[in-house]
Amino acid sequence: MQSSNETSQQIGGTSATKRHPLVLIHGLRNAHRWTPAFLRRCLEIWGSGRVYVVHLNRSGVVWDVEYPEGVVHCAGSVKVRAGSETIDTQVGHLRDKLTRLEAERGLVRPFDVIAHSMGGLVLRRYVAEAPADVAAAVTLGTPHGGAPMAQTFRWLGRGLRSGGAFDNLTPGYVRSFVQSHPWPASVPLYTVRAIARRGWIWGVSGELWLGYHYHRWRGMDSDGLVPVDSALCQEGVHLADLEDGHHLQLTSDPAIVDVCASVLP
């Protein structure tokens, strides 16, 4: 892990007490999910019952997952099509899930946020309207500059019943979206990205292998799905690069949690 912030190099030993609870927001189609190792490290830092996972679909179910370190509260069903709709639709799901978690599991505002991939764009839409709800946020591999693959493979998005999400990930759309939804200066924003150095990583269904070679063919470094330059944000402070890493690893490596915890209050 290479970092542009000295504190993010101090992996491990993070205080187990955080001022605010933590909300985790997944990316496109919820294909790259938070792993047990990632969630358990979140519990070690934020504490039992203070880690919340939202799934961006219509399901209103609220449920819990128990680990030796404590309980993670979840809202929405775990389906691959969560995160398949437009940003506007997904932010509606986010509002609903946060309200349900507040009513049924004691979520308090403001909260910290870690958002992966497209989840960072959904968060941008949310925080533009409710900046007081978010204490600080870290985006992991979020295509703040858009994802060229979404433009090239829009036909595939429609075949996967995810056309709305693919349309909203194209570089042209994201550039316009970011301009019309500036990040509030009152909410600290940080970015973390991965840089893939080898093309043998498969991913869930071959998407990282395809994406690595797609970006190399276009002369771009990437994390397998998002160009490395696109994962940076003009309004945010860049924290760290996961060298020889990939998009999926951003949701699975517990060391990423420590990097995020170094700046989240």
Tens of pLDDT along 77-94?
Answer: 998 789 999 999 999 999
Which CATH number is 188's domain given?
3.40.50.1820
From residue 89, give the alpha-carbon distance in Å to each of 68, 80, 84, 94, 164: 35, 16, 9, 9, 9
Q: How far apart are CA 155 and CA 159, in angstroms?
A: 6
Q: Is residue 257 predicted with pLDDT exceeding 80? A: yes
How confident is residue 155, by pLDDT bands cut at 50, 70 and 90? very high
Average pLDDT over the chain reads 93
Q: Is the pLDDT of residue 2 over 70?
A: no
Q: What is the pLDDT of residue 81?
A: 81
Task: Tell me what pLDDT residue 80 has.
Answer: 72
> What confidence tens digit (pLDDT) does each residue in 17-48 have?
799 999 999 999 999 999 999 999 999 999 99
Q: In which domain, by residue range, is 134 found?
A: 2-261
More confident residue, 11 or 239: 239
Within 10 A of 146 (CB to CB), how many other CB atoms are there? 23
Residue type, 221: D
User: What is the pLDDT, as a whole number, of residue 10?
Assistant: 30
Contact yes or no for 55/30 (Cβ under 8 A): yes
Closest CA to 236 of 187, 195, 194: 187
Q: Using the structure block, give the residue that is written with the tokens 């449920």.
A: 63
pLDDT of 223 reads 97
Please report which confidence band the pLDDT of residue 6 belongs to, taking 50, 70 and 90 as the band edges. Answer: very low
Question: Lowest mean pLDDT: which of 3-12, 57-66, 105-114?
Answer: 3-12
Question: pLDDT tens for residues 128-152?
Answer: 999 999 999 999 999 999 999 999 9
Sign of dihedral through CA atoms 91, 144, 131, 33? Answer: positive
Q: What is the pLDDT of residue 68?
A: 96
**CB-based contact 225:208 (threshold 8 Å):** yes
Number of domains within the chain:
1
Helix axes 119-129, 87-105, angle to 10 degrees: 70
| Burial classification of residue 232, based on how many CB atoms lie within 10 Å of its CB (0-12 exposed, 13-18 middle, 19 or more buried) | middle
Average pLDDT over residues 229-244: 96
The model's confidence at residue 58, banded by pLDDT at 50, 70 and 90, is very high
